[in-house]
Amino acid sequence: MGKKTPGPICRTRGHGCPDKQTLDKSRSNVQRPVGTEKKTANFQEQELGTWNSFTETISDTANDVLNTVWDTKSFSWVLAQILKKLGEDHHSWKFKFFAHFLSGGGEAMTEFTQVPMDWQNAIRQNWRKTSSIRRDVMKAQKAKYPKGKFRIKPYNWGVEDLTGALGHFDLTYSKKSKTETYLIEDYYDFPYYDESDGLLKDHGATLPPSLPKWMSDKLISLLPTRGYAVPEGKSAGSNQKFKIVQKNNGSLLLTIPTGWLRANGKAFNVSASFNNQFNIEKYIAAFDEESYVFWEALDEDDLAHDLIFVKSEAQQVKVFNHLKAKRPAEVVDVAKYFVEDLVARTSPPTIADLSKKPALTNLLRSFLNGTPLASKLPAAKK
């Protein structure tokens, strides 16, 4: 399996949070394990074995991130690495976009070529709704929005990764014969004020629910404590601070001052398109990575996650059969990740939905026979 493509990060729509929800973010004066002596440059050589034994039950994501935090003094670089890793391991473009903002130097995000299937479904279903189109913006900027181009507000669509990565975005829709094409464009930046209501924004990212508490505590301890003054607009002179706040649903939101973001990141352009025609070769090729010198590797995990949101059973079956014929060494891993992801999900689609897709279920069973995952599949149809 190929390595994940590092990429940028996210921005979520700002929501003010009362101070009483702010978690403790006191900062230690050293960025190393409590109770240890100051380490020399060969810290990892001296204590790697001991540390690995201590963290053997911790996920690779958390372990890698924590080591990164301790091995660097550049907080913005550390944050970018954390976000990249979170994006890779949680199939999240919002974290990848945010990381790219901090580390991409303003260059376009070239790895964003395949619009995630759940984004595609949401855009197709919702973009025409009155509540989704910012006609006030389009009216005020007529030259920017010719016929067929729209300003879109996706916040009530229920796709957090889309709203976190893009927020408001431009959509150009065109139709030729039976082919409908959707071009999404955005200028990924962090303005001081919200486009919708003009209020001061709290930019940030909702942390994955699977993030261990010890790791969120470590992040809190690393946050700067100083305030960043807002230099413009009706809230000029007020301060924004780094915070990790607990939302009403229990999830944690990392908020980052706009002033810090503007000082440490570079805005960049986002552009990608999709249509209503499903091309298997092109679809799978989007998950190929030239990870090694002599051969190309398929990112089975990301492909499996995206394939979950392909609504048509026939198309899902075609993808697995194509992999069986063309990529036999990798199809079992894709099937494994596909089922694992469905089992872990608590909102549709879930593993229970496979009962409505007997052809896909039987094909998955043929790949997973003899493994514990086979027992997770719905009973075979007679």
C-alpha dihedral sign at 365, 298, 86, 90: negative
Query: In sequence order, what are the beta bridge partners of 289?
Result: 297
Tell the burial category of 92 from Cβ atoms under 10 Å away from its Cβ (0-12, 13-18, 19+): buried
CA-based end-to-end distance of the chain: 35
pTM of the model: 0.73
Query: In sequence order, what are the beta bridge partners of 272?
Result: 184
Question: How many Å apart are CA 62 and CA 23, to the nearest integer?
Answer: 20
Give residue 61's pLDDT.
54
Residue 69 vs residues 33, 90, 222, 376: alpha-carbon distances, Å:
11, 19, 9, 38
- The model's pLDDT over 161-176, given as tens digits with 9 standing for 90+, comes to 999 899 999 999 999 9
Q: Judge contact between 313 and 321, C-beta under 8 A.
A: no
Share of the chain above pLDDT 90, in %: 51
Query: Under DSSP, is residue 187 helix (H, G, I), strand (E, B) or coil?
Result: strand
Give residue 111's pLDDT.
83
Does the pLDDT of residue 22 top 80, yes or no? no
Q: Judge contact between 215 and 62, C-beta under 8 A.
A: yes
- The model's pLDDT over 75-132, given as tens digits with 9 standing for 90+, comes to 677 778 877 887 888 888 998 999 999 888 999 888 888 899 999 999 999 999 999 9
Burial pattern 113-148, b for ≥16 Cβ within 10 A else e, equals: ebbbbbbbebbeebbeeeebbbeebbeeeeeebeee
The amino acid at residue 368 is L
Which residues contact residue 370 at a Cβ distance below 8 angstroms, ignoring those fewer than 6 apart?
Answer: none
Domain map (residue ranges) of the chain: 19-111+196-265, 120-186, 280-376
User: In the 8-state DSSP scheme, what is residue 133?
Assistant: B
Which residues contact residue 330 at a Cβ distance below 8 angstroms, ignoring those fewer than 6 apart?
Answer: 1, 298, 300, 323
Q: Between 49 and 156, whose confidence is greater? A: 156
Give residue 382's pLDDT.
56
- List the one residue out of 194, 183, 29, 162 whose CA is nearest residue 96: 162
- List the one residue out of 7, 53, 64 whose CA is nearest residue 218: 64
Q: How many CB atoms lie within 10 A of CB 363?
A: 19
- The model's pLDDT over 251-309, given as tens digits with 9 standing for 90+, comes to 888 888 999 888 889 999 999 999 999 999 999 988 887 654 455 678 899 999 999 99
Average model confidence (pLDDT) across the chain: 80
